Amino acid sequence: MKNPNGYGTVSKISSGKRRKPYRVQITVGYKPNREKGTIIPIRKTIGYARTRDEGKQMLARYHNELFDLDLVGVSFEYLFNLWYKYKEKAGMAENTLKLYKNYYKHYKHLEDKAFEDITSRDLQDIVDNANCTSEYCGKIINMYNQMYEYAKGVNIRLKNKASLLVILPKKVESKKHKPFTDEEIDKLWNNRNDVVDEILTDIYSGVRPGELLVISEVHEDYFVTGLKTESGKNRVVPLNNKTKDIFHNLIKNKRFERYSSEDTLYQTWKKELKDLGMGNHSPYDCRHTFATLMARVKADEHSVKLIMGHRISDLTKRVYTHKLIEELIREVNKI
């Protein structure tokens, strides 16, 4: 049965060996051929197919759904940027947007590939090769799923390539964190600059480095931040008197706003530590150092858990009363 005029065409491309040799086009308008006195159809390609039947199905789907032609065949990078702007306009939290940019790094090698051509194998390779826990791998793939749902929202009908992925439980093998020695801490104090001040603030507060980028409240003797777990979110972090002025100066100069992501902060701190002859340390050693120092001065265990955002079974003990905040400040000033 012949298609109606203007319906579209499926034609085979003769040049070379192609995985999808059939070009699918629809008619978007007409223009006159004055020399021949005829009307020439203006066609636009909506995609490529492996077989003629697949191309006909693509044509039928287009006429049934009228999807956005400008998003046909766009790259992963292009669709990510559209989706990211959509998330921004929707009021997504800034720290969540930063996490999306971190997840995007795992797709960097696919950014020029058409989103519709990304295969299950591509996604499985990301999961298998990522040096992260199964939970984090799930978050990486969840971003793909959200982009897929966004594509569906503009009527780009694709098969969800993530539906058959296997994410096996795994733990990342990492070098054991080790605290800074007293001599190394003294060296930091004797070589102060803006980056070293950030490192010292972390050592005396015990937060995850990335939590310095999502501070929601700043007070004279404490600040509020938190990532990762329910017990870690929106928690009070007391300021040690040794670093209180340093912290407020960093906030005043918007030091933490300079970092676009936790990875940027990580790399900056790592370089500074290497320049000081402490390249064997990771920025996360700051948090481990805090826990070690608090244990050394026999700080209250419950207070340490609250400060560091560790899980506490008794929910009533997580309520930050004025009295409790004062207790946390007193405990942190034991070091």
CATH number for the domain harbouring residue 282: 1.10.443.10
pLDDT, mean of residues 274-300: 92
Per-residue pLDDT band for 319 (boundaries 50, 70, 90) equals low
> Over 90: is that where the pLDDT of 218 sits?
yes
Does 208 map to a domain?
yes
Mark whether 81 and 57 lie in a shared domain: no
Within this chain, do residues 244 and 303 fall inside the same structural domain, yes or no? yes
99 and 137 part of one domain: yes
Q: Taking the model in full, what pTM does it have?
A: 0.52
Q: What percent of the chain has pLDDT above 70?
A: 84
Does residue 187 sit in the same domain as residue 220?
yes
- Are residues 186 and 283 both part of a single domain? yes
Same domain (yes/no): 262, 204: yes
Structural domain harbouring 188: 182-332
Euclidean distance between CA atoms 184 and 279, whole angstroms:
12
Q: What is the tens place of the pLDDT at every residue in 6-34?
A: 678 888 887 667 788 888 887 766 677 77
Do 52 and 98 lie in a common domain?
Answer: no
1 domain residue, yes or no: no
Question: Is residue 249 predicted with pLDDT exceeding 90?
Answer: yes
Q: Is 175 exposed, middle or buried (0-12, 13-18, 19+ CB in 10 A)?
A: exposed
* 60 CA to centre of own chain: 37
Chain-wide mean pLDDT for the chain? 83
Query: How do 222-225 and 38-49 pair as beta strands?
Result: unpaired
- Give the residue from 66, 86, 115 where a domain finishes: 66
Residues 308 and 223 in one domain: yes
Return the pLDDT at 315.
47
Residue 59 in any domain: the answer is yes
143-162 tens-digit pLDDT: 998 888 887 776 666 667 77
For 51-92, the pLDDT digits (tens) are 888 888 877 776 665 455 555 667 888 889 888 988 888 888
Q: What is the pLDDT of residue 150?
A: 82
Domain count, the chain: 3
Of 20, 46, 66, which residue constitutes the final position of a domain? 66
Residues 286 and 232 in one domain: yes
Q: Helices (H), strands (E): how many in the chain? A: 12, 6
Residues 328 and 190 in one domain: yes
pLDDT beyond 90 at 120 = no
The answer to whether position 31 is within a domain reads yes
Write out pLDDT tens, residues 169-212.
765 445 567 899 999 999 999 999 999 999 999 999 999 888 89
Domain-located, residue 172: no
Closest CA to 132 of 168, 161, 162: 168
- Has residue 35 been placed in a domain? yes
Average pLDDT over residues 215-243: 83
